[in-house]
Amino acid sequence: MPQEDRHTNDWNSVDPHRFCVAPMMDWTDRHDRRFLRELTKRALLYTEMVTSAALEFGDRENLLAHSPEEYPVALQLGGSDPRQLQLAAKLGEKAGFCEINLNVGCPSERVQSGSFGACLMAEPELVAECVDSMLQSVSIPVTVKCRIGIDDQDSEAALQNFIGIVADAGCDLFIVHARKAILSGLSPKQNRDIPPLDYDRVYRLKSSFENLSIIINGGIIDMKSALDHLNYVDGVMLGREAYQNPFILAEVDERFFGAQKNELTRSRALTNYLPYVEQQVAAGVPLQHITRHLLGLFKGVYGGKAFRRHLSQNAYKPTSGVEVLEEAMYLVDKHMQDGELTKEESKDLC
């Protein structure tokens, strides 16, 4: 999509950082982002992390693939080589992304072995150099996603020192996961749950850097708590809940951006998505690569288990097409008419 067209979209008049959906490896690919746009037009979406090395030496077209319907959408990069990141940022802007975000929060050992992710919080000067290098090559914003600390470098002073040094390089927006990262001994999954949340530290960070935009992330699972955070910071970012229970996003445009009440239903959202699915399957994309992102759509409603089961049992078949989704939707309708909840669905509603 040409850059001049991107900047004329109506979303550009309202800061989409007020509500963001987190970059999540293996989850927020182009098929997922395209579906989320059926639920919210205003929230800022992020790609999965793409490494700067992959963009220099790999299949750029595939790595940067997205559709105009996804906007606003930001590209998250992983890396620590200023030259390589500068090239990657240029490619991201040319591809039409509205923002470049540097990952300084991922705690996985694989990412650490590449000397990027959360381990970079120990090297604020290098992060600043990377940010400066990218800003010199693009006209779109360059932002940073980080933790509140790592290992024993988790004091409030260390966090403020990191933010101050990187901000001096020109970064004016930080997405802060309100947990520290433990770089040895915990898996990425454990790092999302075991270190305690410290929202107050993120609030104080905003108070200390009033000129910066601070977006809070971590453990946010409903719209009420997300709205409460806006009393202290500039925006919120949802991760797992937005993926595992995506229909929660149908409230976002009204509650965060002042849009008219959304009368969208789950079935209507899926029906609107079917032409995209049909197009992608015709282009050779296996149906299960798309439907895996839809398993949580009917979470907590009549027929949700039947919907998930039908997709899981049929979408992987080589000849499967949109009829599998249509059949799954029929099962939901049938359960709603019967008015009977399975035990699993009863638990979902609690």
Inform me whether the pLDDT recorded for 336 exceeds 90. no
- Is the pLDDT at 347 greater than 90? The verdict is no
Tell me the per-residue pLDDT of 123-149, one tens digit each, with 9 for 90 and over: 999 999 999 999 999 999 999 999 999
Mean pLDDT, rounded, for 22-51: 98
Q: Which of 123, 124, 116 is nearest to 88 (CA)?
A: 116
Looking at residue 338, what is its pLDDT? 64
pLDDT tens-digit series, residues 290-332? 999 999 999 988 899 999 999 999 999 999 999 999 999 999 9
**More confident position, 82 or 347:** 82
pLDDT, position 189: 78
Q: Which whole number is the average pLDDT over 93-118?
A: 87
Per-residue DSSP letter, 284: T
And the tokens for 58? 């790999």
pLDDT bin (cut points 50, 70, 90) of residue 171 is very high
pLDDT in tens, 254-272: 999 999 998 999 999 999 9
Question: Distance between CA 236 and CA 232 in Å, rounded?
Answer: 10
What is the pLDDT confidence band of residue 3, given thresholds at 50, 70 and 90? very low
Mean pLDDT of all residues belonging to the chain: 91
Per-residue pLDDT band for 339 (boundaries 50, 70, 90) equals: low
Query: pTM, whole model, 2 decimals?
Result: 0.91
Beta bridge partners of 60: none
Contact 35, 294 (CB under 8 A): yes
Specify the 3-state DSSP secondary structure of 211. coil
pLDDT at site 192: 81
- For the stretch 236-246, pLDDT in tens is 999 999 999 99
Distance from C-alpha of 254 to C-alpha of 71, rounded to nearest angstrom: 18
Which listed residue (98, 106, 146, 171) is catalytic? 106
Residue with tokens 């600390």: 149
Say if residue 277's pLDDT is above 60.
yes
* pLDDT for the residue numbered 11: 45
Residues of the chain with CATH 3.20.20.70: 3-257
Token pair listed for 192? 């999302």
Query: Which numeric CATH code is attached to 3-257?
Result: 3.20.20.70
pLDDT average, residue stretch 176-195: 85
Task: Check if 106 is active-site.
Answer: yes
| 3-class DSSP assignment, residue 64 | coil
Among the listed ranges 44-58, 110-124, 129-143, which one has the minimum average pLDDT value?
Answer: 110-124
What's residue 224's pLDDT? 96
